[in-house]
């Protein structure tokens, strides 16, 4: 694994390359995605049937073929190995407990002159969840997307997932049953995003779309934003590890590889103040690579998008990591909580050597749908509020409008909006 030193003459250029890790050629896929969206919008199911035949290698005959029978979900759940079923329930309970703490509250405030101001929080009517199912199926993503919607109070949840060769993933079906989801459709890619955004004869239009996906899914979400809300435009998975000389090199190495095995575009970056640790980690990475089943994927990810950076001090290391704004950030230092206040940008922060990133993927409780590619500077993890909306509450008494109405009318006149001003002034003409 390549090692960079912040004191190198060409370090700035090398680091700029790391910062651009999430750049993808959206221009090339845009015409394809736009055409898919157009076809779904104009033709509905008939376009869906064509796209499924082309991309997933099976041909739906009618609308029912698009849907997964809830009885199959129940059967998949009942057939689960007991230990796997227990693990699924443990994950469900922990994720639900964490997200229940995120629930925003409606509130009302009363002023002395009779003004009433407040906020009303309500869930969206229908949420659409996209769950990947191409190279691999991710039941954990179903839990992470469905549970916040359930906690938010969404009554109608729609799931779309690609099913290559018309073979749904059994564990995903079991997770759907556990979440009491009735509407699961066998469609993926940009087609699924368009179908949920605009609706077809079978798939209902939703209010918000969440869930990870490839470049076609991400681009489609970007284009339908505004027609519906979305969680974020996420890219390939990534991990940043901040470590000092006290870190365990084996732990650091395998944690870097845990993200690299997602796909070739994933990035794994260690920033440390210890040259000795840097060399040990590079050695351990090579050792683990020899035994990993997804060796080719991991090797390409590490070679093209991985790096070990040796910084002069912890302050510089933290500054560099804040610029990277990683999706996942592990802190392996003598006192990781001491560094926590200095971290400004990260999707999820894992503190201490016994908190590997994969524990967050499955069982810890916080959401694993996280901002990537520097977007942790302005995006948050998927949470309950993605499935809710806020309405402002305003009520003025006669006294209240006389107290501040003149100022409102003056501002309206200043902006040249005569009817706005008159709307207030006509009320001021009435006696208190």
Q: Supply the residues annotated as catalytic.
A: 327-328
Residue 212 near residue 347 (C-beta atoms within 8 A)? no
Q: What is the maximum alpha-carbon separation in the chain?
A: 86
Can you tell me the distance from the alpha carbon of 271 to that of 346, in angstroms, rounded to the nearest whole number? 14
d(CA 168, CA 25): 30
d(CA 219, CA 234): 9
Contact present, 229 and 196 (Cβ < 8 Å): no
What lies within 8 Å, CB to CB, of 150 at 6+ separation is 96, 157, 179, 180
Q: How far apart are CA 72 and CA 198, in angstroms?
A: 27
Q: What six digits make up the tokens of 296?
A: 């080719």
How far apart, in whole angstroms, are the C-alpha atoms of residue 323 and residue 373?
Answer: 11
Cβ count within 10 A of residue 125: 12
Residue written as tokens 């209902």? Answer: 204
């Amino acid at each position: 694994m390549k090692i960079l030193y912040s004191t190198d003459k060409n370090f700035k250029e090398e680091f700029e390359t790391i910062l651009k890790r999430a750049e993808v050629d959206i221009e090339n896929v845009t015409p394809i995605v736009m055409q898919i969206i157009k076809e779904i919008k104009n033709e509905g199911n008939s376009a869906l049937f064509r796209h499924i035949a082309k991309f997933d290698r099976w041909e739906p005959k009618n609308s029912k073929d698009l849907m997964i029978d809830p009885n199959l979900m129940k059967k998949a759940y009942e057939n689960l190995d007991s230990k796997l079923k227990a693990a699924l329930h443990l994950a469900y309970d922990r994720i639900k407990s964490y997200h229940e703490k995120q629930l925003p509250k409606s509130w009302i405030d009363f002023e002395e002159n009779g003004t009433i101001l407040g906020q009303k929080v309500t869930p969206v009517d229908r949420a659409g969840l996209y769950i990947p199912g191409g190279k691999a199926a991710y039941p954990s993503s179903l839990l992470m997307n469905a549970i916040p919607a359930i906690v938010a109070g969404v009554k109608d949840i729609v799931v779309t997932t690609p099913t290559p060769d018309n073979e749904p993933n059994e564990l995903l079906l079991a997770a759907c049953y556990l979440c009491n989801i009735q509407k699961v459709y066998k469609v993926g890619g940009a087609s699924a995003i368009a179908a949920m955004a605009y609706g077809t004869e079978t798939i209902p239009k939703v209010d918000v779309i969440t869930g990870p996906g490839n470049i076609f899914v991400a681009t489609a979400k970007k284009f339908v934003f505004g027609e519906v809300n979305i969680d974020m435009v996420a890219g390939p998975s990534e991990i940043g590890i901040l470590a000092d000389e006290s870190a365990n090199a084996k732990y650091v190495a395998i944690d870097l590889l845990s993200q690299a095995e997602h796909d070739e575009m994933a990035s794994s970056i260690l920033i440390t103040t210890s040259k000795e640790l840097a060399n040990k980690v590079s050695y351990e990475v090579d050792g683990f690579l020899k035994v990993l089943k997804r060796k080719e994927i991991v090797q390409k990810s590490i070679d093209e998008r991985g790096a070990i950076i040796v910084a002069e001090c912890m302050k510089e290391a933290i500054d560099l990591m804040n610029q990277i704004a990683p999706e996942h950030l592990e802190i392996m230092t003598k006192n990781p909580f001491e560094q926590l206040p200095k971290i400004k940008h990260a999707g999820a922060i894992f503190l201490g050597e016994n908190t590997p990133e994969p524990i967050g993927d499955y069982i810890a409780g916080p959401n694993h749908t996280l901002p990537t590619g520097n977007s942790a500077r302005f995006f948050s993890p998927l949470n309950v509020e993605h499935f809710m909306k806020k309405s402002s509450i305003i009520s003025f008494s006669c006294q209240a409008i006389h107290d501040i109405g003149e100022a409102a009318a003056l501002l309206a006149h200043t902006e040249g909006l005569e009817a706005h001003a008159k709307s207030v002034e006509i009320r001021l003409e009435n006696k208190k």
